[in-house]
Amino acid sequence: MENAQLDNFLKELNNGLADLENVTIFQKVIAESLAVFSLTELLLSEELKTSRPTVNRWKTGATIPHILIREGVYKTLLKRARALAKSIGAGSQSERVKTSSTEGKVAHP
Give the tens place of pLDDT for each residue, 40-93. 999 999 999 999 999 999 999 999 999 999 999 999 999 999 999 999 886 554
Residue 105 inside a domain? The answer is no
On whether residue 106 sits in a domain, the answer given is: no
Residue 80 lies in a domain: yes
Which residues does 1 contact at the CB level (< 8 Å), separation at least 6?
36, 38, 84, 88, 90
Q: Is 62 part of a structural domain of the chain?
A: yes
pLDDT per residue over 4-25, tens digit each?
A: 889 999 999 999 999 999 999 9
> Which CATH number belongs to the domain containing residue 52 in this structure?
1.10.260
Q: What is the pTM of this model?
A: 0.80
Q: Residue 59 domain-assigned?
A: yes
| Whether 73 contacts 40, CB under 8 Å | no
Helices (H), the chain: 3-18, 23-36, 41-47, 52-60, 67-88, 93-102
Domain count, the chain: 1
Cβ-contact 99, 91 below 8 angstroms: yes
**pLDDT of 88:** 87
What is the residue range of 86's domain? 3-96
